[in-house]
Structure 1
Amino acid sequence: MWLSGGTVVDGTGSDPQPDRTVLVEDGRIVELDGTPPAGAEVLDCSGLTITPGLIDAHVHFGLSSPIEASLTRGLSVAELAADMFENCRQTLDAGFTTVRDTGGIDGGLAGVVAKGKVPGPRILQCGPVLCQTGGHGHMASEWEPTADWTDHHIPGLRSMSMLCDGPDEMRRNAREAFRRGAEFLKLCVTGGVVSRHDKLTDTQFDVAEISAAVAEATARGTYVTVHAHNNAGIRNAVAAGVRCVEHGSQIDEETAALMAEHDVAHVPTLAVVHALLDDAAEAGLPANIADRVGVALQGQIDAIHASRAAGVRIGSGSDLIGPKQDGRGRELLLRSEIETPMDALVSATRVNADILGIGADVGTVEAGKRADLVAFRGNPLDDPKLFADRSAVALVVQNGAVVKDAR
């Protein structure tokens, strides 16, 4: 299959390459030059801009329904599953060929997508979040007995979190997450914006607890990423050996330098903050959540600048929650307003692939890589609003197969 005549932006940060021809064979990119022979399958991409398949490094497919209703059995399991399937479909339709689910689903959803039974992106998942009792990720009502929290799990579909208090419980639950098919671990080491029982300034887990999870992940040849807002929690996590920080809304110059020294990546999440400011109720959350959101927004913008100046690898994640997750590309538009559209694209392709540990396979348009490709009408580097416009995504190729063709 030949993608002919498009402008290629390869995800490495190099300048756009007009009028290129991308040859795909057996799911891989073979070359970016050449002339299609007579009778070849040719996709005319004239006027389109071809980029690597986009990667969202922070999704929550397990929160694809109104959150309060989904956690209080206000919805059937069938409806929860239907909403997750639709979220997967919309994500692929928007040009995201890979995602990292940072807590909520288990191997069940990832498996049906991988088998082709549900259209969706390649999913790397950590299973349930590991959090402390009463910490971020423990989403039970105040009056619900803690012992009842596991009753909310739906094996094979969704398990929001497992509670860990002390290194031994952390080790046990890390092993349980891996038994269920987790590909990495996610811990909550500070309070969060949508938390019920904590503040953004709270630290959660001590170094010994985090280290227990890191040891288990290391034994499996993988890594730990952490939900973290404040610097004290981030410093604990870096000391324990984690490889990535999600959100990082209070990262300052000192903390960014520490992260760079230890090669700890940073995945900001701007789209969710804007979505909650627009309408928290739309996600099925209380309106007063907005009181925390403004702090997290400006903090993340400042943190991006601090991380960039320190040389930290900066990825890209949307963190969208609730039933309206069709604006996943908005994250790249928001990043384009802080840095440049090229920075936003590279973060959502090459850098994200590197953070996820799949950089040898995807993330750039280069010979030998898997053929995960997106073609936009127009050039999003000139008009970054195209990143957030699903109708501007004219063509999506995943693993060498055309999964959307709206040319």
Structure 2
Amino acid sequence: MGRLQVVGAAVADGTGRDPTDVDVTVEDGWITQLGASGDEPGERLDAGGLTMTPGLIDAHVHLGLSSPIQPQFSFQISAAEIAADIFATAGAALDAGFTTVRDTGGIDGGVVTTIAKGKVRGPRVLSCGPVQCQIGGHGYYGADWEPTELWSGHHLPGLCALSMMSGNADELRGNVREAFRRGASFLKLCVTGGVVSAHDRLTDTQFTVEEIAVAVQEAAARGTYVTVHAHNNEGIRNAVEAGARCVEHGTDLDEPTATLMATRGVALVPTFAVVERLLHDPAEVGLGESVRDRVLGVRERMIEALAAAKEAGVRIGLGSDLIGPAQDRRGRELSLRAALETPMEALVAATQTNAEILGLSGQVGVITPGAQADLVLWNGNPLEDPELFSDPTNAVLVIQAGQIVKDLR
């Protein structure tokens, strides 16, 4: 792989410090030096006029939901086309500057290994495999007449497996063990109803504290953690009491619950991009108009939840939650967060903080000696104009583990 010296860029290192003009030296996939690179041998890349950031991290993706949603759930799309859509989304994530993603439900282990082997372009993927759901809860999309036990027939082993249904704690224990057998690196449970749901409301709670604790116990036995899909405070509090380490969405998070999360060290991953997209055009992702009614007011409440979490001192990551086709503008999540906070806070959430949430602190998400050489060079300065994050063509050069994987110079 050799040595690569990137010179002339304004470097925003992911820690929140102001950008500095510093050369970055990469050897065999790792950052080895910051500062004047001198005349050492190796490739020299002139990045004058560009802004360098760490490779971005999306902590909430659904690669396995890259086809139109309702047709995919009703067996109208072939496995070959589903696979093509998944791999196209993976490549688009890389092209948008995302070198690491956490898949929070929908892919089976074969997708992770296929990307890791370099057979298709894509980011580093951490996956929970199928989401863990209670019978009839969020994550179940079978027809009303379809017996629950037939739902697993929607899985395509090695490719996509959206969710597993549990009726009690023993069934959940068996299902999470099966998820780990398939290669999951963490677990995700749905503990409230959801926006894209067929059989519940956002105000519903799902799984008991005792049931969630079973998943936490199984995750801890493997040195990993549980994150939860949760919109309402009762569901969040149940999950925190049971030992979950992260909350996805957190739409109605209030101040007391945010304080509880901060006290217990539980992180939050808000998801604004998917809300914007569902409000704009549900049909674009292959869903009916009824979804628009369910998402009304979610954006405003999620903004309030973000403010409550910040005030309480909760660690706040960043996730897009994009579903359906055309997941190419993943950086839109940073642009939306920049408007609610600052561009620098959005960048830190998408880099250093997300790395901490994923258990990769110091390995990715920062530009420092000893970290993986995941780097993005931006046309212009997205910290001055955060809309640049939304357009993947502004990520003119993407380096993943020291390899140039995109170059529009």
Establish whether TM, by shorter chain, passes 0.5.
Answer: yes
Partner of 2:60: 58
Alignment of 1:95-244 (within 5 A): 95-244=97-246
C-alpha deviation, 1:35, in angstroms: 3.1
Answer yes or no: is the 8 Å Cα contact 1:230–1:249 preserved in 2.
yes
1:365 aligns with 2:397: no
Letter of the 2:382 partner, please give it.
P
Alignment of 1:63-102 (within 5 A): 63-102=65-104
Q: Per the alignment, in what secondary structure is the counterpart of residue 216 of structure 1? A: helix
Once the two structures are superposed, what CA deviation does each residue of 1:244-280 show, in whole Å capped at 9, x if it has no partner?
Answer: 0000000011010000000000000000000001100
Partner of 1:10: 13
Q: Please give the alpha-carbon distance, in whole angstroms, between the structure 2 residues aligned to 1:198 and 1:38.
A: 62
Letter of the 1:4 partner, please give it.
V
Letter of the 1:290 partner, please give it.
R
Q: Per the alignment, in what secondary structure is the counterpart of residue 402 of structure 1? A: strand
C-alpha deviation, 1:345, in angstroms: 0.2
C-alpha deviation, 1:295, in angstroms: 2.2
C-alpha deviation, 1:38, in angstroms: 6.5
C-alpha deviation, 1:294, in angstroms: 2.3
Q: Please give the alpha-carbon distance, in whole angstroms, between the structure 1 residues aligned to 2:130 and 2:48.
A: 44
Q: Please give the alpha-carbon distance, in whole angstroms, between the structure 2 residues aligned to 1:17 and 1:39.
A: 24
Partner of 1:387: 389
Q: Per the alignment, in what secondary structure is the counterpart of residue 31 of structure 2? A: strand
Partner of 1:309: 311
C-alpha deviation, 1:36, in angstroms: 3.9
C-alpha deviation, 1:292, in angstroms: 1.6
Q: Per the alignment, in what secondary structure is the counterpart of residue 168 of structure 1? A: helix
Q: Per the alignment, in what secondary structure is the counterpart of residue 214 of structure 1? A: helix
Letter of the 2:12 partner, please give it.
V
Q: Per the alignment, in what secondary structure is the counterpart of residue 250 of structure 1? A: coil
Answer yes or no: is the 8 Å Cα contact 1:101–1:124 preserved in 2.
yes
C-alpha deviation, 1:139, in angstroms: 1.1
Q: Please give the alpha-carbon distance, in whole angstroms, between the structure 2 residues aligned to 1:248 and 1:401.
A: 36
C-alpha deviation, 1:124, in angstroms: 0.2
Partner of 2:330: 328
Partner of 2:265: 263
Q: Please give the alpha-carbon distance, in whole angstroms, between the structure 2 residues aligned to 1:370 and 1:46.
A: 22
Q: Please give the alpha-carbon distance, in whole angstroms, between the structure 2 residues aligned to 1:143 and 1:363.
A: 46
Q: Per the alignment, in what secondary structure is the counterpart of residue 43 of structure 1? A: strand
- The root-mean-square deviation of aligned C-alpha atoms, in Å, is 0.8
C-alpha deviation, 1:39, in angstroms: 5.3
Answer yes or no: is the 8 Å Cα contact 1:2–1:36 preserved in 2.
no
Once the two structures are superposed, what CA deviation does each residue of 1:18-45 show, in whole Å capped at 9, x if it has no partner?
Answer: 2x11000011001111234265311110
Structure 2-normalised TM-score? 0.98
Q: Please give the alpha-carbon distance, in whole angstroms, between the structure 2 residues aligned to 1:335 and 1:286.
A: 27
Q: Per the alignment, in what secondary structure is the counterpart of residue 200 of structure 1? A: coil
Q: Per the alignment, in what secondary structure is the counterpart of residue 150 of structure 2? A: helix
Q: Please give the alpha-carbon distance, in whole angstroms, between the structure 1 residues aligned to 2:213 and 2:204.
A: 19
Letter of the 2:10 partner, please give it.
T
Q: Please give the alpha-carbon distance, in whole angstroms, between the structure 2 residues aligned to 1:58 and 1:197.
A: 23
Unpaired runs of 5+ residues, structure 2, are none
C-alpha deviation, 1:120, in angstroms: 0.3
Q: Please give the alpha-carbon distance, in whole angstroms, between the structure 1 residues aligned to 2:300 and 2:243.
A: 27
Q: Please give the alpha-carbon distance, in whole angstroms, between the structure 1 residues aligned to 2:190 and 2:383.
A: 35
Partner of 2:347: 345
Give structure 1 regions of 4+ aligned residues with deviation exceeding 2 angstroms. Answer: none
C-alpha deviation, 1:52, in angstroms: 0.3
| Residue identity (%) | 61
Answer yes or no: is the 8 Å Cα contact 1:36–1:42 preserved in 2.
no
Partner of 1:300: 302
Unpaired runs of 5+ residues, structure 1, are none
Q: Per the alignment, in what secondary structure is the counterpart of residue 296 of structure 2? A: helix
Q: Per the alignment, in what secondary structure is the counterpart of residue 42 of structure 1? A: strand
Q: Please give the alpha-carbon distance, in whole angstroms, between the structure 1 residues aligned to 2:71 and 2:240.
A: 36
